[in-house]
Structure 1
């Protein structure tokens, strides 16, 4: 059984934050921060992680949801990055998270008859053999007619042939949360809605001013905590510059890093709107565009534009949506329209800024950097979702050097995340599980792909209360038990946490979860101790966030969309 990450666990974590001294304090609950916590605790270190919002609330819930080597980086001759990412992809698919990371075929249309097939084919052949690539099927060369059989929704004149290759897919928010839960399973103290407001310093240390912890505000109660730690690791992604300033360092100065945020927008459309039996990757004048299978939906994206406005809720605009539609419709027999769109989301990539011009974010580095701007503080920045584990390992290696003691090397390449152990055996027994819970086999298969071997904990809720085995009205892809489990075991503290990240109701339903919101709020209220007023406040805050998001999407430029989005405070902030 897993260690529950529920309200009682949070209370215990807050007590530990106030009372204990930790070897490592991690700031940031995205995938890199969660990975740092797991890496450090699995080496035998005492670890705390604090996140100002929810786990994966930023970049780590708004990616393309791919675990991939980055085929386009081969064209940039960045072989080291591709090899590293492919090795990590192989580990995740086969050992670390086979329940959450699964192979997906992609079709790469060709437009030129001779040179392009040889040129692109050579690159994809290399992609098949670097790092851990061999764990997935090899690419196939397809003729024009064979390609159209795989993708009948493509225009006949959009290609002369194609290459089909494999990458992998993940629910990025669930994976991040699961890594954090795994760290907690091994003893890490994980606390969300806990914001770092400053750093503690030992003025008596050699040289003076060594960082020895952080000032943390519990955003739920307003309480101020002094969290002591021998090393602090900052893993806040696009907020890296702000944390450096908080520590007294100037981004861009010697011994610091500068992170440029790049906005990526994705659309979600129904599966029947695009007739494909495979994912799709298209070249654009700026980057690439993916059409990615997502259950009964497609995810279509992404954009790549610089962003220097509000980082909490980056806003997609009408121009972003039109750009994506224009490029995908250039190859589709039946064009997508605005009416086909079920959901839109925007995320920010934390790119290491160098000498490239601000307008050229597509050319900025996807490499990562680990620095120690001052004693006691380590900063990890940049990188890509797929290589989170390597980033975490490198950050902990630097922090360990400041502990002055012998610490084992990283073992996370051999530590499966929660739900991986026993997953395949349970998947083979899915009919028995379905019969025991009184659920369709297809539903249990879906649950196994979300929870792995932890599915038995979800099914136990259904066995105790059969009504929790019913689908959520307005979000029938999810069971009522999943909303309850999100609060009792997965650390959700607000209605937004459940509808946006523990499930994907916000982007998968045309009404963005407004019908489901009252049902889910009533389901989770008892576990969170909410009264009727608090339930209404959570529903109102969620509705306000949805309306602001839709209003922003009608604006044509970033500045106008950002202003509209800021007019409505983040749902959780309204009710904390």
Structure 2
């Protein structure tokens, strides 16, 4: 079956679902929900995924765009989570999505009396995990100490006074977290899964869900033998027994030339904190993301979280502590925040809560919560196992996602579309998003199929043309 998602396929899928139940209904179109849909469909189950908004609308598009090896979890004593992260990182980089993940050099600058032996010991422990996960050193080289001259060559914007060198290590970086979700959903569609966005589930049971088509207002009941709730920080809305303590992770968008970085990221210790770092992450588009915070969030969960000024000032201050140029609010081009769906353990600040995940089943509804973007595949496999719909084991560790494979074409398109780059070049990115990636609005293109929307001025400049082209493409499908 074709992997293309578009308005025509959505209409056909809704018509089919109105009278035909499926084996598994997945609610939530983030990385976990898309991963569940792929896992189940690849095991031979009939699958439907419904999403209230768009693919990657929630937390999955607000990450640091990293595929972590679990070093932070190791420092917190969560060895199992750290090892699982290292394994899943290796699978993404070598088998399932090598076109979407690259090795990112990361430098810990050493100024003054930095405790570099302690930090280097942690980096070496992380490298042990990399080897245990069987990720080759040609994919992720081991850590090493570099002298001041090399540190400045890697990151020219570093503060020179007191610089003793740096500790260089490597981790995985996604070209785009939202693109990973789209690739998962399309790969699932290739196995026959029905992917329906703008379809809000208002109630769940072990036999399906009541769903409202938000484009037309029509409602229907989608029958299923089992249901997986993969709605992240909104999981409690559909499963009240699930208790979460959301944590806000904020990022700033700056120009790489302002910060003084090219392709090497900085890992910056947060003054006064233990085992806590800020990240200064260069991107292929000439931007830099500075993140991230870890602040508890109380009250109703917004569809799109905002970044408070306190987070802006905190991140600018931490980044400036190792840079030659002091960053100010005027340097900020944009900002974004995501909410982590942390399990409520009843105590401890959010920075200390477990990043592990849980699969909970109640009255036939399986809810998967917690975890990290890196470990989505493992979480998805466990959620499908918990439904007891099949005895077939998960296959997704060996299934390449859409776009994996030999690549040719314009480098900027290859980096985002992999093997599909030549086809994208023929029709253009907006048309491709509408014809094959399920984009139904200009917002879908600006904010999730591309990163244009992360900088408000860029978004404003591009919106009229994108809106017109999306309308033209949708009209051609009716």
Q: Are 2:350 and 1:355 aligned? A: no
Matching residue of 1:446? 412
Structure 2: distance between partners of 1:526 and 1:199: 36
Q: Residue 488 of structure 1: CA displacement?
A: 1.1
Q: Are 2:452 and 1:502 aligned? A: no
Q: Residue 111 of structure 1: CA displacement?
A: 4.5
Q: Residue 158 of structure 1: CA displacement?
A: 5.7
Pick from 267, 272, 288 the counterpart of residue 281 of structure 1: 267
Deviates more, 1:154-163 or 1:330-339: 154-163
Structure 1, residues 404-442: CA drift from partner, whole Å, max 9, x if none?
xx531000000010010x33xx33xx4xxxxxxxxxxxx
Structure 1, residues 441-489: CA drift from partner, whole Å, max 9, x if none?
xxx111011111122321332xxxxxxxxxxxxxxxxxxx111111111
Pick from 464, 468, 493 the counterpart of residue 440 of structure 2: 493
8 Å contact kept, 1:2–1:454? no
Structure 2: distance between partners of 1:300 and 1:2: 38
* TM-align CA RMSD: 1.7
Structure 1, residues 83-111: CA drift from partner, whole Å, max 9, x if none?
11111111111111111111110001234
Q: Residue 112 of structure 1: CA displacement?
A: 6.2
Of structures 1 and 2, the one scoring higher in RCO (CA 8 A, sep 6+) is 2
Pick from 142, 166, 185 the counterpart of residue 180 of structure 1: 185
Structure 1: distance between partners of 2:277 and 2:52: 33
Residues 96-135 of structure 1: pairs in structure 2 closer than 5 A: 96-111=96-111, 116-130=115-129, 131-134=133-136, 135=139
Over 3 Å counting, the alpha-carbon distance change for 1:117 and 1:331 in structure 2 is closer
Matching residue of 2:305? 314
Q: Residue 329 of structure 1: CA displacement?
A: 1.0
Q: Residue 339 of structure 1: CA displacement?
A: 2.0
For 2:239, what is the secondary structure of its paired residue?
helix
8 Å contact kept, 2:4–2:189? no
For 1:14, what is the secondary structure of its paired residue?
helix
Residues 337-348 of structure 1: pairs in structure 2 closer than 5 A: 337-348=328-339
Residues 94-493 of structure 1: pairs in structure 2 closer than 5 A: 94-111=94-111, 116-130=115-129, 131-134=133-136, 135-157=139-161, 159-170=163-174, 171-200=176-205, 211-245=206-240, 251=241, 257-277=242-262, 278-284=264-270, 285-286=272-273, 287-295=276-284, 296-308=286-298, 309-357=300-348, 360-374=349-363, 376-399=364-387, 401=388, 403=389, 406-420=390-404, 422-423=405-406, 426-427=407-408, 430=409, 444-461=410-427, 481-493=428-440
Q: Residue 321 of structure 1: CA displacement?
A: 0.8
Structure 2: distance between partners of 1:3 and 1:42: 13
8 Å contact kept, 1:113–1:160? no
For normalisation by structure 1, the TM-score amounts to 0.78
Deviates more, 1:272-281 or 1:293-302: 272-281
Structure 2: distance between partners of 1:98 and 1:31: 17
8 Å contact kept, 1:91–1:132? no
8 Å contact kept, 1:89–1:132? no
Q: Residue 512 of structure 1: CA displacement?
A: 3.9
Deviates more, 1:280-289 or 1:217-226: 280-289
Q: Residue 498 of structure 1: CA displacement?
A: 0.8
The unaligned stretches of length 5 or more in structure 1 are 201-210, 246-250, 252-256, 431-443, 462-480, 531-576
For normalisation by structure 2, the TM-score amounts to 0.93
For 1:511, what is the secondary structure of its paired residue?
helix
Matching residue of 2:80? 80
Larger Rg: 1
Structure 1, residues 471-529: CA drift from partner, whole Å, max 9, x if none?
xxxxxxxxxx1111111111111111111111111114x51411211111111112223
8 Å contact kept, 2:146–2:167? yes
For 1:408, what is the secondary structure of its paired residue?
coil
For 1:179, what is the secondary structure of its paired residue?
helix
Q: Residue 157 of structure 1: CA displacement?
A: 3.7
Structure 1, residues 268-300: CA drift from partner, whole Å, max 9, x if none?
111111223411011214532101111111111
Q: Residue 159 of structure 1: CA displacement?
A: 4.1
Structure 1, residues 128-173: CA drift from partner, whole Å, max 9, x if none?
1212444411111112333233222111246433210001111101
Matching residue of 2:475? 529
